[in-house]
Each structure stands twice: as C-alpha cells, then as structure tokens.
C-alpha cells in the first residue's frame, strides 16, 4: 500500500500542492498535518507509522516534510524499516529505501545525523566554557546562602542534629547533611 505524508509548519500554509502530488503518485491514503517539523510527536505521523506493514511505501515530497532534524529523520526511517516498509521522496529520488541502495541511504542519513549531533555537542560545550569564564553558575540556585551555610555548619559542629538545623532554615535534613561535602567541594574549586 502507498501512503502519503504531507506537512506544513503553520496553519496559514497550504497543503494542497503536496496532497495533489501524492495523489498523482498513487497514494491510497494521505496523512496531512500543519505542525512544525521540529516536533517529532506529530499525531498524523504517529498514525501513519503505526499503520505500516511489510511491503508498504511512504511517499513525501522532500526530506524536511518528514523531519527537519537528521536525528529525527533517522529515527523515523528506522521505524519504517522495522515495519518492513520503505520511503520514497518525490523531489529527492536519491532518498529511496525501497531500492537496492537502501542500506547506503540509511548509512548516509545516519552519518549526517551523527555529524550534526557532534556539532551540537561541540557548540554546547564551547558555549558552556564561555559562560563559565564569564562567571555564570549552572544548576539550581542553592537553597541556603553562603552565610546560612556557615551558620548551619556551626550549629552542626556545636552538636545540633541535622533535623533541628534543617527546621531552623526551612530545608530538609539531607540538605544540611550535604553541607560539609558541598563546602569542601566549593573550596577545592576556588
């Protein structure tokens, strides 16, 4: 069975041209939606993927109608492949998992996804390093200020229980019990 998938990103955009082309290509059923391609949880796409059986073919006009992100595209192609179905793109005939070159197509798409993921990780790491150099602190804001931590540690050192110190500052006992470790860690990073 040939299924079509048509997608545009906004309500203001028109699906008609894609639908007409998919009908002309022989699609028996067309799943269409107006959702961002960055959203991998699209209802019509999920229905289509759930309906696929061995020998079925999914047609779309171009890659970015199926997914904008190479990692999402690879995931969708794998799901289609696991169902025993294939994908063909009308405007990108080199993306055809129904041909003998399907393994090569999946390899190339997988390589592109891996390459993009590596770039994202590198850019994120570089951004974090620049932010740290500017003094940006990551993670949750501490529950106790530096002054409160010092007072809490003094109370614990004076024999007060974690629970009693916690109730004074309105935090949990585990927050107080971690203070020695966090203070030591703080001092070692200066």
CA dist 93 and 75 (Å) reads 20
CA dist 7 and 107 (Å) reads 25
Reported as a single tens digit per residue, the pLDDT across 50-68 is 999 999 999 999 888 988 7
Reported as a single tens digit per residue, the pLDDT across 159-190 is 999 899 999 999 999 998 888 776 665 565 55
Q: What share of the chain is helix, strand, coil (3-state, %, to 5)?
A: 55, 10, 35
The active-site residue, picked from 9, 99, 172, 173, is 9
One pLDDT digit (tens) per residue for the chain, 190 residues: 999 999 998 888 899 999 999 999 999 999 999 998 778 789 999 999 999 999 999 999 988 898 877 778 888 988 999 999 999 999 888 788 887 776 777 677 767 767 777 887 888 889 889 999 999 888 888 888 889 988 999 998 899 998 999 999 999 999 988 887 766 655 655 5
Longest dimension (CA), the chain: 83
Nearest to 11 by CA among 32, 35, 29, 27: 35
Concerning whether 9 is annotated as a catalytic residue, the answer is yes
**Extents of the domains making up the chain:** 2-114, 146-188
Note the CATH number of domain 2-114: 3.40.50.1390
Nearest to 31 by CA among 17, 11, 15: 15
CB 88 within 8 A of CB 99: no
Please give the mean pLDDT across all residues of the chain: 87
DSSP letter, residue 7 = E
- pLDDT on residue 20: 97
Q: How many CB atoms lie within 10 A of CB 94?
A: 10
Instruction: State pTM to two decimals.
Output: 0.58
């Amino acid at each position: 069975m040939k299924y079509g998938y048509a997608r545009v990103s906004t309500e203001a955009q028109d699906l008609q041209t894609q639908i007409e082309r998919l009908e002309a290509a022989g699609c028996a059923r067309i799943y269409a939606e107006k959702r961002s391609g960055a959203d991998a949880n699209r209802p019509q796409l999920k229905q289509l993927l759930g309906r696929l059986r061995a020998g079925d073919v999914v047609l779309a006009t171009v890659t970015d109608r199926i997914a904008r992100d190479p990692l999402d595209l690879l995931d969708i192609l794998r799901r289609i492949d696991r169902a025993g179905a294939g994908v063909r793109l009308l405007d990108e005939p080199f993306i055809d998992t129904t041909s003998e070159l399907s393994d090569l197509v999946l390899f190339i798409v997988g390589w592109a996804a891996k390459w993009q993921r590596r770039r994202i990780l590198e850019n994120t790491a570089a951004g974090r390093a620049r932010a740290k150099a500017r003094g940006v602190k990551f993670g949750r804001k501490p529950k106790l200020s530096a002054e409160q931590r010092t007072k809490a540690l003094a109370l614990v050192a004076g024999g007060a229980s974690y629970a009693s110190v916690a109730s004074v500052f309105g935090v949990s006992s585990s927050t107080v019990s971690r203070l020695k470790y966090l203070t030591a860690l703080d001092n070692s990073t200066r």
